[in-house]
Amino acid sequence: MNRGLRVAVALVVGMAAPIVAAGCGKHEAQATAAAVPAPAMKPAPPTPIDTKKAEVGGPTWDPEWDKIVELALPPAMLSGQVPHDVRRFCPAFYGMAEDDKRAFWAYFFQALAGAEAGLEPTVQAKHAQPEMAVKDEVTGHQSRTSGLLQLTYGDQKRYGCDFDWDHDKKLKIDDPDRTILQPKNNLECGVKILDHQLIEKHKPLLSSSGYWSTLRPGTVSYRVFAKQMTNVPAACRVAGGRKVASR
């Protein structure tokens, strides 16, 4: 083999080696990611509105939505950083196993969706209250709340939610293909909003300045929400082996 050919072969082999190594590294990373087990999860019990709608007909809570909420929860929302007023609904929260805490939050968001939207993913609303009758900074129109948790496109900018106004504005207002109406996007955004309130801002779960009016004590909306929080997971009502009455 002449020198020129040997150099060419060496260059090809030398260039191929990093590619092969990179390919191996990629497969190893994929294998490692695939090997990470999903967190332990439990299904949440039905809220009163979910039970009622199952009996008389109407939109009900999809058990798959429990998984969406539970997988979206950041570690801090399963820790002692959660404000103490969580015990109003889940007295045993701090001593519960992680899967029970996940189930509680899944139930919490089911109750919130029941109070906010009657468990209907495509519900839209305009509000007459001055604090709500503002221009949405993303759409440029008067703010409208949408989906299971009644969120806005402005939440995309504020909380990094997976909403796409450029895509959605081409669809009918109640089209389930709108990104803001898709339960996964809506619920994951809700988790981000609550995490921001509880963990980043260190505000209580129930606050007069909270995002949702349903979590503002003393309001009619709050009473609607509280009625949905009467069937929390059994682990919430247990402390030291004894049942604790819900407040």
Q: What is the DSSP string of 63-107?
A: HHHHHHHHHH--GGGGSTTS-GGGGGT-TTGGGS-HHHHHHHHHH
164 occurs within a structural domain? yes
Q: 23 and 83 in one domain?
A: no
Q: pTM of the predicted model, to two decimals?
A: 0.81
Q: Quote the tokens at residue 212.
A: 């949702």
Do residues 141 and 233 share a domain?
Answer: yes
Is the domain of 25 the same as that of 104? Answer: no
Is 43 among the domain residues?
A: no
- Same domain, residue pair 149 and 96: yes
Q: Are residues 131 and 230 in the same domain?
A: yes
The answer on 127 and 7 residing in a single domain is no
Average pLDDT over residues 40-56: 95
Q: Is 90 a member of any domain?
A: yes
Residue 38's pLDDT is 81
* Whether residues 230 and 148 fall in one domain: yes
pLDDT in tens, 201-235: 999 999 999 999 999 999 999 999 999 999 999 99
SS3 48: helix
151 and 172 assigned to the same domain: yes
Instruction: Let me know if residue 41 belongs to a domain.
Output: no
CA pair distance 131, 114, nearest whole angstrom: 23
In a domain, 116, yes or no: yes
Please report which confidence band the pLDDT of residue 37 belongs to, taking 50, 70 and 90 as the band edges: confident
Supply the pLDDT for residue 206.
Answer: 97
Question: Structural domain tally of the chain?
Answer: 2
How far is the C-alpha of 100 from the C-alpha of 20, rounded, in Å? 45
Residues in the chain: 247
Same domain assignment for residues 55 and 134: yes
Query: Could you tell me if 184 and 223 lie in one domain?
Result: yes
Same domain for 139 and 228, yes or no, is yes
Residue 80 within a domain:
yes
Domain span at residue 219?
48-243
Q: How far is CA 211 from CA 10, 44, 72, 152, 174, in A?
A: 64, 23, 19, 11, 23
What pLDDT was estimated at residue 137?
Answer: 79
Q: Is residue 236 part of a domain?
A: yes
Q: Do 4 and 119 fall into the same domain? A: no
